Amino acid sequence: MASLNNLFLLLTWVLLLFMLVDSSEQASLLRDDFYKDSCPDAKSVIKAAGCDASVLLDGNDTEKTAPINSNLIGYDVVDDAKQAVEAICPGVVSCSDILAYAARDSTVKLNGTGWTVQGRRRDGLFSCADAAENELPLPTFNVSQLIESFARRGLSKTQMVILSGSHTVGVGHCDKFIERLYNFSATHFTDPSINASYAQQLKKDCPQAIFNTTLEIFMDTITLGEFDANYYKVLSEHKGLFTSDQSLERRFDHRFGKAMRAMGAVGVRAEFQVRRNCRTVNPC
């Protein structure tokens, strides 16, 4: 279960990274069922496991080396999927499309309803740690910062709220919200927007003294590992881990898939390539 969550995080993080790129040309490039003729079996092979897959590139100072991405795992699962697809259709299916299909499939495995994935993304040629570090939204963001961050990539307020509902699965590490528990402000030692008894519990789970960055807390404490709307209930009870989420108390429904299609279309570039190996750009 943990690996599915992590894979979903990797995939969704990748989608967020694609948001770094100008969104003007993208949606029209994508197609439903794009591999129907060129690689009809791709979807069934990918099962297990975007928009330019730059987070997959190995190397010094690539996105995967950025501290904000330090907890990402699951790269090997993408490698396996790529290898399987290359075996049946060499050079046809991009790493970024593999990620997009896998994001959908991992939510279905967690009992989500899924959505139709658009295909035809190309894999980027560059990857830069600073871009990830400077551009990804932070868990300390307030509502205006979140709205602005998504709006810069052409995504609406509503889409931002719906996409944040993906925190129905997975974990947050203590270091991502510890500032809400201890020495929060001059007037409040602990963030008053956290339910008081839940804050007590979190302090036990994430003690200040022996605090380390490997401790993990489930974000949706009602239905662990289920892709459902319960995260919003968690938030309405003031039990969200992050300021960014606690500011959002809304419904979560089939609009998630629609919003994922919109996010998955950000930063798609026709001039990029289909990588042979997801970890390196193709040799000249």
Binding residues for ligand HEM, rule: CB under 6 A, are 5-6, 8-9, 12, 16, 71, 137-139, 141, 146, 160, 163-164, 166-167, 169-173, 176, 242, 244
Q: Between 100 and 281, whose beta carbon lies closer to ligand HEM?
A: 100
Q: Between 84 and 98, whose beta carbon lies closer to ligand HEM?
A: 98
- Residue 223 assigned as binding residue: yes
Nearest to 266 by CA among 25, 62, 33: 25
- Residue 228 assigned as binding residue: yes
Q: In whole angstroms, how close is the CB of 47 to ligand HEM at the nearest point?
A: 18
Q: Between 25 and 148, whose beta carbon lies closer to ligand HEM?
A: 148
Between CA 114 and CA 266 the distance in angstroms is: 19
- Residue 137 assigned as binding residue: yes
Phi first, then psi: what are they for 249, rounded to 5°? -120, 90
Torsion angle defined by CA atoms of residues 211, 214, 217 and 223, in that order, rounded to the nearest 10 degrees: -170
- Residue 167 assigned as binding residue: yes
- Residue 90 assigned as binding residue: no
Strands 171-173 and 118-119: unpaired
Q: In whole angstroms, how close is the CB of 174 to ligand HEM at the nearest point?
A: 8
Q: Between 96 and 281, whose beta carbon lies closer to ligand HEM?
A: 96
Between CA 14 and CA 96 the distance in angstroms is: 9
Q: Between 138 and 196, whose beta carbon lies closer to ligand HEM?
A: 138
- Residue 63 assigned as binding residue: yes
58: CB partners within 8 A, 6+ apart? 64, 279, 280
Q: In whole angstroms, how close is the CB of 87 to ligand HEM at the nearest point?
A: 29
**Residue ranges with strand state E in the chain:** 31-32, 118-119, 171-173, 216-218
Torsion angle defined by CA atoms of residues 102, 253, 33 and 28, in that order, rounded to the nearest 10 degrees: -110
Sequence ranges of the binding site: 50, 52, 54, 63, 137, 167-168, 220, 223, 228
Sequence ranges of the binding site for substrate: 137
Sequence ranges of the binding site for heme b: 167
